[in-house]
Amino acid sequence: MSLFSPRVMPAEPAGDDDPFIESLIARMTLEEKAGQLSIFFDNAREDAPDINPAQAAKSLAEVRAEIAAGRVGGLFNGIGVASGRALQKVALEESRLKIPLVFAADVIHGLRTVFPVPLGEAAAFDPDLAERTARAAALEATAVGVQWTFAPMVDVARDQRWGRVVEGAGEDPYLGRVLAAARVRGFQGQDLRDPDTLLATVKHFAAYGAVSGGMEYNSVDLSEATLHDVHLPPFKAGLDAGALSLMTAFNDINGIPATAHRGLLTDVLRKQWRFRGLVVSDFASDAELVSHGHAADEKDAARLSILAGCDVSMASGIYNRYLPELVREGAVPMAVVDESVRRVLRVKKALGLFDNPYRSLDPEKERTQLRLPVTVALAREAARRSVVLLKNEGGLLPLPKGGRRIALIGPFASDRVHLMGPWALWNEQRGVSLEQGLREALDDAQALEVVAGCGIEAPLEGGIAAAVTAAARADVVILSLGEGDEMSGESAARADIGLPAPQLALAEAVAATGKPLVVVLQHGRALALTGAVRAAPALLAAWYLGNESGHALADLIFGDHAPSGRLPVSFPQHAGQQPFHYNHRSTGRPQTQADASRFKSRYREVTHAPLYPFGHGLGYGDIAYGATELDASTLAWDGTATAQVTVTNRGARAMREVAQLYIHQRVASLVRPVRELRGFQAVELKPGESATLRFVLTRQHLAYAGADGRPVAEPGLFDLWIAPSAAGGTPAVLRLLAAV
């Protein structure tokens, strides 16, 4: 896939001159047009999640009256077929023009069956898996009346203090692009008119992951080059895969709030990328232009948002309140409003809502399509594939299923809720705890003793003493530590990305018993590991694995399956080392591992290196990489070159290996990162088996985005690695020749 993939066949909405749509627009009043451009939090229904009490103002009767008055284009985050049908009926039978509602929800990583959080699933480095889980999530969401998901979140995040790292694909733009496209394909399926498909939304446009200091909702200051080279490509990939909606971000970018950013919403999105779907604000992010100090009042905010290119207002209601008068005053041209309405109606038509307004509102599917065994099995597979084995000294893992007393200690040992992670809004199913997974797998379930030891962020009276006692009489200890689900996700930025002090104290006390220690981490970001946790012989980065968490971890801990995940985010040496990302620029005083002199680009306390690098992950085996080889030392401007490597499984178990292709442009008009991921291939290897992996390169694979967003390829020398992570390895060298 080149850096700027040509548009694939998107789910192209109806053309500009669709007679049906044009006739509808011609009959709409200004108030009805504003209504079509307004969606609201749907918490009047029985199954709405209680995530925003302030929005609970409206009763169901008031919502029905608003729909009948033509002031509602869609609702979000309510689910349930019966109540959805009742609301759609109001639109179809009581409103003047009978335009169907569209029902949306934050289906981020599943609905009734909860999959690993997206950051965890990104660790699988597997677009096919990402597509399959998105497809499975779409089947469940459409079974309960959802037609539009506010996913995939495609923000590139390089500062692990930010809570929403958990929702995306991590720090790398290439991995972000590949997975954005895969998830869009999974959600939208082959034809959006199919009632089992979900309209996808790439979000949050743009650069929300670059908030200063990793602090939630904070300002973003970055260069045009970094914006185009790092943060925009995953959006382009998602739109090229056919996503027909895009959500704006809360943050400002260089002083212009994203929801009023004409440069992005119109110049880039419409003029450069030719996007024909709809743009929806984030939750009241249009009204928040006032708080930003960009709009004088909410009426001004409505004007700025619609003129910039934000078609749909989410939750604030300011389009309903102000668009009619703004048009009547001439502050907003009717043509602008009509174009936004046209985009909304085109998307509703692409969803088949005019022909089948009760699509995805089928009571039979609600009864039969949820938590299917095949979906639960997929959740277990995805959870296994998400776990990253950071360390396994002495081959401590896998553990035998019998003959050992195991002490399972920690605040998440028996947890069945936090393991779902953020944005698991509608799962009355409680997840499979680590305790349950281990007990079910053990030959003797009684060989497991479970002690919480401490709370998630608070000590437990007598907890450490009980934990030490249990550890002392065990043969091996499994420590279940990490972040509670409130410590990750939206409004969960952390100033310190280490483990909470009570958990560290517990780890020190348990480690002091000298028993072999396996640490299982539950988290939504890269963590700064210290003390006994960092020193543990076996370390599993397990993210939030969702419903099948305990089963998947037991599968790996006892060796029924081998870990194969790779880090989508770098684990730093120190919590203060943020933002940190492997694809950083060299600086004029690069500090290499060997060079410890003072006047180099580093902190006093640590080198400019991670504790565990991007792409790192171990298995239960021993994979050897041969040298990275090239079939030629030069690449003609319009030619191809092939890079290859031979990998061998020298271990005793089958392994899934993810070989990663990195490049480094040695000399560039805009200095380039010391290493950039530009491809990866997974291969299953039996014991003793070798495989040669090949990457065919063109200059597009070596190009980067210039400050204007256009691809720039520059002749010169490139280092290339095909390696097991973003660190180490000896590069091959390729010269890109100038155009002749």
Binding residues for ligand GLC (CB under 6 A): 77, 106, 150, 203, 282-283, 490
CA proximity to 482, closest of 138, 166, 41, 10: 166
Task: State in Å, rounded, how far the first CA of the chain is from the last one.
Answer: 25
Nearer to ligand GLC, 77 or 316 (CB): 77
CA proximity to 505, closest of 415, 411, 440, 419: 411
CA proximity to 153, closest of 169, 135, 133, 132: 169
CA proximity to 264, closest of 222, 180, 207: 207
Nearer to ligand GLC, 425 or 722 (CB): 425
Coil vs helix vs strand at 691: strand
Q: How is 248-268 classified by DSSP, letter by letter?
A: E-SSEETTEEGGG-HIIIIII
CA proximity to 358, closest of 82, 552, 150, 132: 82
Nearer to ligand GLC, 159 or 282 (CB): 282
Q: How far is the CB of 77 from ligand GLC (least distance, A)?
A: 6
Q: What tokens does 704 get?
A: 């980067």
Cα dihedral 508, 509, 515, 516, rounded to 10, equals: -30
Nearer to ligand GLC, 205 or 695 (CB): 205
Q: How far is the CB of 428 from ligand GLC (least distance, A)?
A: 20
Q: How far is the CB of 492 from ligand GLC (least distance, A)?
A: 12
Nearer to ligand GLC, 203 or 523 (CB): 203
**What is the dihedral sign for C-alpha 273, 279, 283, 286?**
positive
> Pairing mode, if any, of strands 641-649 and 629-630?
antiparallel
In which residue are the tokens 């590139």 written? 156
Q: How far is the CB of 583 from ligand GLC (least distance, A)?
A: 25
Q: How far is the CB of 125 from ligand GLC (least distance, A)?
A: 24
In which residue are the tokens 């446009």 written? 205
Task: Give pairs for 587-595: CB < 8 Å, separation 24+.
Answer: 590/674
In which residue are the tokens 């909606």 written? 245
Residue 306 in contact with residue 337, Cβ under 8 Å? yes
Distance between CA atoms of 636 and 633, rounded to whole angstroms? 10
Q: How far is the CB of 150 from ligand GLC (least distance, A)?
A: 3
Q: How far is the CB of 362 from ligand GLC (least distance, A)?
A: 24
Nearer to ligand GLC, 315 or 661 (CB): 315
Residue type, 292: H
Nearer to ligand GLC, 284 or 474 (CB): 284
Nearer to ligand GLC, 104 or 562 (CB): 104
Q: How far is the CB of 183 from ligand GLC (least distance, A)?
A: 14
CA proximity to 229, closest of 159, 274, 174: 174
Nearer to ligand GLC, 205 or 558 (CB): 205
Residue 553 in contact with residue 514, Cβ under 8 Å? no
Q: How far is the CB of 313 from ligand GLC (least distance, A)?
A: 13
Burial 156-169 (b: 16+ CB within 10 A, else e): bbbbbbbbbbbbbb
Burial class (CB in 10 A: 0-12, 13-18, 19+), 522: buried
Q: How far is the CB of 106 from ligand GLC (least distance, A)?
A: 5
Q: Specify the DSSP class assigned to residue 626.
A: -
Nearer to ligand GLC, 232 or 713 (CB): 232
Contacts of 581 (CB under 8 A, 6+ apart): 158, 171, 172, 570, 614
Angle at 684 between CA 681 and CA 688, to 5 degrees: 120
Coil vs helix vs strand at 442: coil
CA proximity to 453, closest of 442, 472, 466, 438: 466
Beta bridge partner(s), residue 685: 655
Residue tagged active-site, from 42, 172, 229, 282: 282
**Catalytic annotation present for 282:** yes
Which residues are catalytically annotated? 282
